[in-house]
Amino acid sequence: MQAVSQKNANKFAFSFILHYLCPHKQIKTMDNKTNEILLKNVAQLSKLTEQEVKMMPAIEAPLPSVEQVKQIVTLVKSIIFPDYFNKRQPDETVRSYYIGVHMEELYGLLVKQIAHGLQFCEDCEEITTKEKVYQEAARLATVFIDELPEIKRLLYTDVQAMFDNDPAAPNYGEVIFCYPVMNAMTHYRIAHKLHELQVPVIPRIITELAHSKTGIDIHPGATIGEYFAIDHGTGVVIGETCIIGNHVTLYQGVTLGAKSFKYDENGNMLNVPRHPIIEDNVTVYSNASILGRITIGHDSVIGGNIWVTHNVPPYSRIQQSKAVEGSFDGGLGI
């Protein structure tokens, strides 16, 4: 009887979809066989599988909103770079007013989205009620806002680094307003602070927004010092456990990645340090791949199209060997 009721329910749902949601022309061209196939698959896809149950969030709550996370980034930009992402303010009093308005809006969005993200927390056994979830979200949002002056300081050092390292940069405004690296670094600096606060999911949403728009893939867990620059940017990858010092410059296509992975006795991957350490005053040119938990010593230069898997001492210059010139006769070399 239960099976019959479920079948009737599926038919009712499917009938509703056909008559109210589908275009009229599609209904006319759908024969009985197609109808049965669609009905059968609606029933199959409505069942919860073991894998689906395993992957469901720990707490029943609304999912984070990507659109509202975008709005969080936009508000932070308007607070940190008010002359570029906000209305120009003629004096400090009016400027303070608008920043205050944006700060209040930012706080509200942060609390809501952090609360939604906490359902993905694997070590939050004490946060069992909606009230406790929002209390924790409010605490984390307050700590984050208290870090905004430091985030601003770091981002302005990044602007300076890009300006100093790019002869094509005519002024600071073009760097702030146009350069993809500043978009990526703004997203990263926000996400990294939330990652440090152990906010689930939201940091990764933020960096992936920048990744999809700029082609620069920076994991929010990576540690990046001040005066950081990426020229061009497309294809740069910086892994989760990477540590980058101060005054480091990367060019397009650089990968700071893992060489291999470690596993526990059950075959599960271990989240251990596996990405490079780049010390101060290092330049890495285009399409270089630096892999594994190795150290590139300070004041070094890594040339383009290099594959580096060993430690590099300070003041080093790593370059490709020169190409061997030769000639080919009679089809040799083809």
- The span from the CA of 67 to the CA of 90, in Å, is 31
- pLDDT tens sequence across 16-36: 555 555 554 455 567 888 989
8 Å CB contact between 261 and 274: yes
Q: Which residue is associated with the tokens 């152990």?
A: 198
Dist. CA 223–CA 221, nearest whole Å: 6
What are residue 131's phi and psi, to 5 degrees?
A: -60, -45
State which of 215, 245, 272 marks the end of a domain. 215
Q: Domain check: are 49 and 64 in the same one?
A: no
Closest among 304, 305, 307, 306 to 292, alpha carbons compared: 307
Residue 114, in any domain of the structure: yes
Same domain (yes/no): 66, 50: no
Contact 86, 103 (CB under 8 A): no
* Residue 2: per-residue pLDDT: 47
pTM: predicted TM-score of the whole model, two decimal places:
0.83
Instruction: Please indicate, yes or no, if residue 310 is contained in any of the structural domains.
Output: yes
In angstroms, the first-to-last Cα distance of the chain is 74
Quote the CA–CA distance of 177 and 157 in Å, as a whole number.
15
Instruction: Give pLDDT tens digits for 313-323.
Output: 999 999 988 77
* pLDDT tens, residue by residue, 102-151: 999 999 999 999 999 988 877 766 666 788 889 999 999 999 999 999 99
Query: Is residue 64 within 8 Å of 202, Cβ to Cβ?
Result: yes
Do residues 29 and 73 share a domain? no
Query: Residue 1's pLDDT band (boundaries 50, 70, 90)?
Result: very low
The reported pLDDT for the residue numbered 325 is 74
Are 180 and 297 in a shared domain?
no
Same domain, 294 and 328: yes
Alpha helices in the chain (DSSP H): 2-16, 24-29, 32-46, 50-54, 66-80, 82-85, 92-117, 130-146, 148-165, 172-178, 180-196, 202-214
> Do 81 and 194 lie in a common domain?
yes
Inter-residue contact 280 to 298 (CB < 8 Å): yes
Q: Which amino acid is at 104?
A: E
Q: Are residues 119 and 249 in the same domain?
A: no
- The total number of structural domains that make up the chain: 3
Residues 300 and 156 in one domain: no
In percent, the amount of the chain with pLDDT more than 70 equals: 84
Residues 257, 282 within the same domain: yes
Residue 15 has pLDDT above 70, yes or no: no
pLDDT in tens, 284-300: 999 999 999 999 999 99
Q: Indicate whether 42 and 64 sit together in one domain.
A: no
What SS3 class is residue 313? coil
Question: Is the domain of 208 the same as that of 306?
Answer: no
By residue range, what is the domain housing residue 160? 60-215
| Range 49-61 average pLDDT | 78
Query: With the C-alpha atoms ordered 52, 55, 59, 61, is the resulting torsion angle positive or negative?
Result: negative
Is 224 contained in some domain? Answer: no
Q: Tell whether 137 is covered by a domain.
A: yes
**Predicted local confidence at residue 26, as pLDDT:** 53
pLDDT band, residue 204 (cuts 50/70/90): very high
How much is the average pLDDT of 258-265?
88
CATH assignment at residue 177? 1.10.3130.10
Half-sphere exposure of 274 (CA within 13 A, CB side): 13
Radius of gyration of the chain (CA): 26
pLDDT (tens digit per residue) in 66-103: 999 999 999 999 999 988 887 666 577 788 888 999 99
Give 46-57 as a DSSP string. Answer: HSPPHHHHHTS-
221 domain-assigned = no
